[in-house]
Amino acid sequence: MTPMVDLFSVLLIFFVLTATVRPQEAAPIDMPFSVSEKTVPDANIMTVLIAKDNRILFNIDNGPDTILKYRPKILEEMGKRYNIEFTPQELRKFEKINTSFGVPIQRMKEFLQAEDLQARTKIETGIPIDSADNQLAVWILCTRQINPNVQACIKGDADVNFPIVREVLDILQDKNVNRFNLITSLRAVEIKEEDIKTE
Amino acid sequence: MAEIAEVEQKQKGGKKKFKKVPAHVDMTPMVDLMCILITFFMLTTVFTKPKIMEIVLPEKIKKNENVEPPKIAKSRTMNIILGPDNKVFWYPGIADDPKNPPPLQETDFSPEGIRQVLLERNRALFKKVSAFNDDVVTGKIDIPRDSVQSAIRQLKRDDDTGPIVLIKAYEKAKYGNFVDVIDEMSICDIARYTFVDLTWLEEEMIKRALGEQPVTSTGTN
């Protein structure tokens, strides 16, 4: 019995330590496949998510160190631009949620008051990106202002139509972001010289 | 094991009999719980992190700036246009004459499709890169692992025969195909590629190709 318990303990500790809490996403996204083997960086990224139903969601991280508190700072900056004042409790809640969000800034308070994921998902109608009210652009602007080292990532559903991706790319390029990381899943492909056919 | 030792002790020193009650803890519930926890963590742990694919787009030329877009050699240019339903079209050169547009070739994303087209044109560089990779693996070239990538990048930069691929997307294309085609660029070690907008003439060509061509065989090669 004792060796078995020992083994189980070791295994259990291993799995507990390696387990990373992955926040639940509001929108399921089937990522396209690629052969790239670079992994997503842990910090300093802003992600634009494009869901199947063409909703745009946005995600930012708290920075490589928890003292930096990028998320509440960015939200505060956003609030200033839209004349919405967020209470410290709301800012703290926003820091803690740590998932992507797809609400217009006007409904952000409602989003922060929601109890759980389901309640939040209900009001997530996507971030407006049309030229009259381009909130995604302002989010990107604020993020870069607070965290100049941020990298842009795009996580799109493989089935989404291209024009909407093009729009997102345009918005990013308008803000002088020309280097993107497309988030994909790994698929191994190997080809050799012999594969090249000759006509 | 602890139990046995204690039992022996008990036999030797009879006086301490009532003190040494063998501690016999029932481990079964603990083991059960551990089993459940291990199974839970095993099933929820995700070892594969999502991957990223880097893409750099050329800087946008603003309207009020007097900057000419860079000129590229027509003979090396190859255009890939993403169509609907996983179709992909390509043509060499530049479409600048509306009366006589270059012929569009239709193909797909299978290994025999666009990959062959690209490999054929990029053979010189592809051979160089794979020979370099082989030499690194077999130990003929001894360089640190982290400089392999930069060496390959240098090989790509020095290349002046491979195609310059312009990727364009028709409005009905899917995002997945866009990723697929950029993926093909890295599979085929294409040194120079970028994403540009579709011109009106190309749009015409695509519409004609989609309208005329019934769904027949693909893989023009």
* Three-state secondary structure readout of chain B: CHHHHHHHHHHHCHHHCCCCCCCCCCCHHHHHHHHHHHHHHHHHCCCCCCEEEEEECCCCCCCCCCCCCCCCCCCCEEEEEECCCCCEEEEECCCCCCCCCCCCEEECCCCCCHHHHHHHHCHHHHHHHHHHHHHHHHCCCCCCHHHHHHHHHHHHHHCCCCCEEEEEECCCCEHHHHHHHHHHHHHCCCCEEEECCCCHHHHHHHHHHHHHCCCCCCCCC
Residues B105, B194, single domain; the answer is yes
Which chain B residue has the Cα nearest residue A8?
B34
pLDDT digits (tens, 9 = 90+) for A141-170: 999 988 888 999 999 998 888 888 888 888
Number of domains in chain B: 2
Asked whether the predicted pLDDT for residue A183 surpasses 80, the reply is: yes
Asked whether the predicted pLDDT for residue B132 surpasses 60, the reply is: yes
Q: What is the reported pLDDT for B12?
A: 53
B27–A1 C-beta distance less than 8 A: yes
Residues B20, B116, single domain; the answer is no
* Cβ A141 vs Cβ A175: under 8 Å: yes
Domain with B202 in it:
77-122+162-212
Q: What is the reported pLDDT for A191?
A: 65
Q: What is the reported pLDDT for B64?
A: 66
B50–A185 C-beta distance less than 8 A: yes
Hey, where are the domains in chain A? Answer: 26-195
Report yes or no: A166 at the B interface, CB cutoff 8 Å. Answer: yes
Average pLDDT score over residue span A106-131: 85
Residues B166, B111, single domain; the answer is yes
Average pLDDT score over residue span A68-88: 89
pLDDT digits (tens, 9 = 90+) for B3-38: 444 445 545 555 555 666 777 778 888 889 888 988
Q: Quick one: pLDDT band at residue B150, thresholds 50, 70, 90?
A: confident
Examine residue B85 and state whether it is found in any structural domain, yes or no: yes
Instruction: Give me the residue from A15, A180, A195 closest to B45, CB to CB.
Output: A15
Residues B25, B101, single domain; the answer is no
Report yes or no: A177 at the B interface, CB cutoff 8 Å. Answer: no
Residues B115, B167, single domain; the answer is yes
* Cβ A39 vs Cβ B49: under 8 Å: yes
Examine residue B8 and state whether it is found in any structural domain, yes or no: yes
Asked whether the predicted pLDDT for residue B176 surpasses 80, the reply is: yes
Q: What is the reported pLDDT for B217?
A: 41
Q: What is the reported pLDDT for B62?
A: 67
Instruction: Give me the residue from B41, B60, B170 closest to A16, CB to CB.
Output: B41
Q: Quick one: pLDDT band at residue B161, thresholds 50, 70, 90?
A: confident
Interface probe, candidates A6, A34, A175, chain B, greatest B C-beta count within 10 A: A34
B41–A15 C-beta distance less than 8 A: yes
Top-confidence range, A26-30, A53-57, B111-115, B135-139: A53-57
Instruction: Give me the residue from B51, B60, B123 closest to A36, CB to CB.
Output: B51
Q: What is the reported pLDDT for B216?
A: 43
Average pLDDT score over residue span B182-197: 85
Percent of chain A at pLDDT exceeding 90:
8
- Residue B90 token pair: 């390509």
Residues B202, B95, single domain; the answer is yes
Average pLDDT score over residue span B163-186: 87
- CB within 8 Å of chain B, chain A residues 29-68: 31-41, 50
Interface probe, candidates B88, B179, B184, B195, chain A, greatest A C-beta count within 10 A: B179
CATH label of the domain that carries residue B183: 3.30.420
Examine residue B170 and state whether it is found in any structural domain, yes or no: yes
Report yes or no: A119 at the B interface, CB cutoff 8 Å. Answer: no
ipTM above 0.85, yes or no: no
